[in-house]
A and B are shown apart, each in its own frame.
Chain A
Amino acid sequence: MTLTVETEHLTKRYRELLAVDDLNITIEEGEIFGLLGPNGAGKTTTLSMLATLLKPTKGTARVNGFDVNTQPADVRRSIGIVFQDPSSDDILTGRENLYLHALMFGVPKDKRAERIDHVLRLVDLQDRQNDIVKKYSGGMRRRLELARGLLHSPHTLFLDEPTLGLDPQTREHIWAYIENLVKSEKVTVIITTHYMEEADRLCNRVAIIDHGKIAALDRPSALKSRIGGDILRLTVRAPRIDQLKNLDYILSMDQSGNTLHLTVKEASKHLQEILGIVGEADSVEVRTATLNDVFLHYTGREIREEAGEGGIFERIAHTRSGH
């Protein structure tokens, strides 16, 4: 397998804050690789360094065979980027935006029109190509930017929170487009997200990143099976948790107020016994482990779905002002 990305001790420090801490990862060709983490975990900083938009404080990375420190222009030509927030020109039409991109990224003159038609078809925007981007919906705009990211036939596509701020239905659509692109265009996709479903649905492998470090890295299914059981959530009047500690089928236990959060081997089989111990329960919930539980397991925190605190450029502005 050819490696698309290989980082060596990749580190970014903003004064006292270690945003990315000695990262060593490899990403193989043809993967959809996810960087999953809460805001401020270092996902976007990592992506920015891989895309040569930020200089690493220490360490380096090779992207498509080029070194981010010494061959930034080659790296840039070999990758496509879709930013967290819109970066298409809303006074221009969709097609004009693509045309400008083709000019700036050196798509040969005789291939321009053909490539533009091709990527427009990929994201179903042929009918709206001559409309001004201002008239596009959020989802259409994101699709246009996906198309633009692919226009110069990059080997790797970076997607920074590709569905942030989109409604659930549009998000589904964008996911379907991304899946199709990977198949038809044979690109490696590296995606940052703080949406669990997104990572679960799209990614072959997920790196859970927290405080600039990799907390876990594997296929989503493998990560989930590492939990080793089902999740049982109980709201009880008077939790008697001491006795639960002796049960060997309970793998982990968390209590916050009246709510018990248990990881249980074969939960449905042991439910009666557990209820017998804890007494009357106001609510009982049994489910299989999700990535969210994996995340909680590795970071001790729940990821909250809130607006991102800013994309690549906000991060860079942040560096510039020296915080």
Chain B
Amino acid sequence: MGELEGFYALWYREIKVFTREKSRIVSSLFTPLLWIVVFGGGLGSAVSLGGVNYQVFIFPGILTMTILFSSVFFGLYIVWDKKIDFFKEVLVAPLSRTTIFAGKMVGGSIDALLQGCAMLLFGLVLRINYSLVEICIAFVFMFVLSSALVSLGLIIGSNMESVEGFQLIVSFLVFPMFFLSGALFPTKNLPTYLLVFTALDPVTYAVDGLRGAILGTSQLPIALNLLILSCFAAVMVAIGTWTFKRLK
């Protein structure tokens, strides 16, 4: 009972923060829209891939990117939280660390999912027609991906002492994860050196799965994508919980 209420408290806080920081939501959606409208529109005037316009082709990739950035940053933000914020209050509460981790993770995932929803709505502008089933599958992928990535962010953030490392993480982790995921190109005929990295990038399976769900074209079966992504998420959540138990 107590743990459940604590979980609710953490979640409640994230939703309040989300709804109050409207400028953050707008800016977090602006970059993906730039990618789709300008990059996708520009390159799309010359290229079409997998039988669809390039703009439509990268849509699942950019949707994934939205989740990727907002999830990892949400997690990393704990560096700041640890120092000045309400999180101190949370750490002294008589709650188990598993509960605290779960509250934080679900809060962050919902945050990312809401941004994903906004992107899905934008997909309608691109004349992508989703069925209810497709939307449900997309949601499952987005949720598993964001759980994994919020956890990853929380793990890194818990081990960082200052915000100075942020740029390093963005350059060496977040951007490579995005570019290698096949968000902007098909992974079918890649040279071997790229293929290896692409296969190692867990985000690849989210992009492929979402492309399968939304556009009906994927390299791997959707279920296999989901399985691999879920394994990654399970490992991240496990390490994250362990990290939080050590966190003072």
Contact = CB atoms under 8 A, between A and B. Distances in A.
A85 B86 CA distance: 11
A319 B89 CA distance: 19
Contacts of A148: 89
B94 A89 contact: no
A91 B20 contact: yes
Nearest to B85: A89
Contact of B248 (A97, A132, A319): A319
B88 interface: yes
Contacts of B17: 89, 91-92
B212 to A, nearest CB: 38
Chain B contact-residue range equals 20 to 34
B95 A104 contact: yes
Contacts of B8: 103
Contacts of B16: 91-92, 96
Contact of A88 (B2, B89, B161): B89
Among A77, A89, A319, max chain B CB count under 10 A is at A89
A229 B248 CA distance: 47
Nearest to A80: B92
Nearest to B17: A91
Those 5 A-B pairs whose CB atoms lie nearest each other, nearest first? A89-B86, A103-B9, A104-B93, A76-B94, A87-B88
B15 to A, nearest CB: 11
A191 B20 CA distance: 35
Contacts of A319: 248
B21 interface: yes
Q: Is the interface of B mostly helix, strand, loop or mixed?
A: helix
Given A91-B17, A319-B248, 16 more contacts: A53-B92, A81-B92, A83-B88, A86-B84, A87-B85, A87-B86, A89-B17, A89-B89, A92-B13, A92-B16, A97-B86, A103-B6, A103-B8, A104-B93, A104-B95, A320-B248
B83 interface: yes
Nearest to A79: B92
Contact of A313 (B5, B21, B82): B82
A279 interface: no
B12 A100 contact: yes
Contacts of A211: none
Contacts, number: 73
B234 interface: no
Among B88, B92, B93, max chain A CB count under 10 A is at B92
A54 interface: yes
Among B2, B17, B94, max chain A CB count under 10 A is at B94
Interface in A64-94: 73, 76-77, 81, 83, 85-89, 91-92
B174 interface: no
A87 to B, nearest CB: 4
A316 interface: yes
A297 interface: no
B13 A100 contact: yes
A88 to B, nearest CB: 6
B137 interface: no
A105 interface: yes
Contacts of B6: 103-104
A180 to B, nearest CB: 23
Interface string A290-323: 0000000000000000000000110011011100
B29 interface: no
A85 B2 CA distance: 27
